[in-house]
Amino acid sequence: MGFLVENGGIEYGGIKIGRKGLENACTYPDFFRYWRDNLFERLMRLFIWEGTSSLEPKEIEERLYLAGHCGIADYDGELTAFFGSFFGPTKYYDEFTGYNVHCPVYSNTYTISKNIVVINNNSIKNPSIEHVDHYAYLLAHCEVTMMKQFVEARDSGGVPIAQNEKAKQSILNYQKNMYNGKIGVISDLAGIGVEYLGADRKTQINIAELWEVRKNLLKSFYSDIGVRASFDKKSNAVIDEVTADTSMLLYNVSDMLEERKKGAEAVNNMFGTSWTVRLSDEIDYNPENQPEDLTEKGGEPDVV
């Protein structure tokens, strides 16, 4: 748990969050940073690597998602995952003969398939960070809108009008108290009255609808990379729809898995290792996780 510190901040695990940081915790930049980190972490759990010895699988996945490719080569007696860049043209614009690797303590030039294996994130070497950013943008806007609705539900809404600086400060103090769940009142310091001007632009969204949007955005994030979200209601779906949906999801994620399998096999052939890679167990494409009618009708989906 966190502990309050001087000036209304919070300290947690030795990390101090100042009062200003707390007050800005519901702004668009903060929500974007939250969702970017959160969604990237979710990606990192998609694939399970085994047999990689001292090389942590997260080092491979980070480079695949961020750069679209990752070099595996020997460094100081152990296999290491590298960021890198291609060089050495061939007759195809997207195929190369060499790979320049770099890390904080080392850089070198390697020949692909001779002393380095390059694993691709997918068949066209696209990174996944753009996918993360896209949904982080959408979810951040959704969260800001939802937070605005939460706060504005505490009064009748509208735009407060101030005639001078004193009235403005009175309104700001009232809104700050309202945001933090405190009792507040607007003091008519100017003696001229403060009024709220109605501003119904017909764009207000019900909070329940916003929550549904948030949930569907998360579902879309997963389905775009080929993963069924845990809150999909398969029991309410038509069997043919479930089968078609599963086939499309497998089609999306299988390309990423296939490239990783090719990379693992190439590493094993070059360095005499026993690397394997598979989908995480939590991705439920096995027959036992499908509606019973699928098995009865012989519509059992493929297993990756």
Length of the chain measured in residues: 304
Asked if 185 contacts 161 with a C-beta cutoff of 8 angstroms, the reply is no
In this prediction, residue 7 carries a pLDDT of: 47
3-state SS string over 226-284?
CCCCCCCCHHHCCHHHHHHHHHHHHHHHHHHHHHHHHHHHHHHHHHCCCCEEEECCCCC
What does each of the 304 residues of the chain score in pLDDT, given as a tens digit? 334 444 444 454 455 545 554 555 678 888 999 999 999 999 999 999 999 999 999 999 999 999 999 999 999 999 999 999 999 999 999 899 999 999 999 999 999 999 999 999 999 999 999 999 999 999 999 988 888 777 766 665 566 777 778 778 887 887 777 666 566 666 665 555 556 665 554 556 678 888 899 999 998 898 888 776 554 444 444 444 444 455 555 556 889 999 999 999 999 999 999 999 999 887 755 444 444 443 344 443 333 3
Q: Give the helix/strand (H/E) hosting 13.
A: none
Handedness of CA 160, 165, 167, 171 (dihedral sign): positive
Residue 159 and residue 17: Cα distance in Å, rounded? 31
In this prediction, residue 291 carries a pLDDT of: 41
CA 162 to mean position of chain CA atoms: 41
In this prediction, residue 56 carries a pLDDT of: 96
Residue with tokens 């901040």: 9
In this prediction, residue 206 carries a pLDDT of: 78
In this prediction, residue 180 carries a pLDDT of: 63
In this prediction, residue 68 carries a pLDDT of: 96
**Of 45, 56, 46, residue with least CA distance to 275:** 56
